[in-house]
Amino acid sequence: MENLTGELTEFIGGLPPVVQFFALFLVGIVPFLESQIGTLIGVVTGVPVVLAAAAAIAGNLLALLIATRAGAAVARRVESRQKSERSNRFRKVMAKVDRFGVPVASLLGPFVLATALSTFIMISAGLKQRTVVFWQVLAVILWAVIFAVLGLGARSVLG
């Protein structure tokens, strides 16, 4: 395992920083890999921490942007069809979910769903786009930082 890690580190370390950034950016876009795994891969293989995290976060944020746009389009279509059917009770429940459920779903969601997928689901369900995007961006950055620290620890253990 140490030999493989060493060879991978040497290979990736020899790539130009632009190529390293682009590769980790692509990992950040992929659902379930996202900023966490992109940052971890980058840090463990010797890419500077800031470069690894920035690339993976940027890729993940692009995926969130696409999911936000798609979710908003679905929400508009659903709302135009059901506007008269929504009760006061439904609106109150959605307000509570918007206030309390979005932070929890965003921060713990990566254990269950890809952030882009959970963003799409929450926005298309009618939750406030601004609240969802705020908490999802915060979660993407927070998880990237956590995995950067884990990657630094793994790199020091693996040598």
pLDDT in tens, 139-150: 999 999 999 999
pTM of the entire predicted model: 0.84
Q: Residues 6 or more apart from 8 whose CB is under 8 A from it?
A: 45
Q: Residues 6 or more apart from 56 whose CB is under 8 A from it?
A: 24, 25, 27, 28, 34, 35, 36, 37, 38, 39, 42, 144
Q: What is the pLDDT of residue 14?
A: 81
Q: Are 44 and 50 in contact (CB under 8 A)?
A: no
If one counts every other C-beta atom within 10 angstroms of the C-beta of residue 96, the result is 9
Q: Tens digit of pLDDT for each residue in 102-116? A: 998 899 888 888 999
Length of the chain: 159
Q: Residues 6 or more apart from 108 whose CB is under 8 A from it?
A: none
Q: Tens digit of pLDDT for each residue in 51-80? A: 999 999 999 999 999 999 999 999 888 877
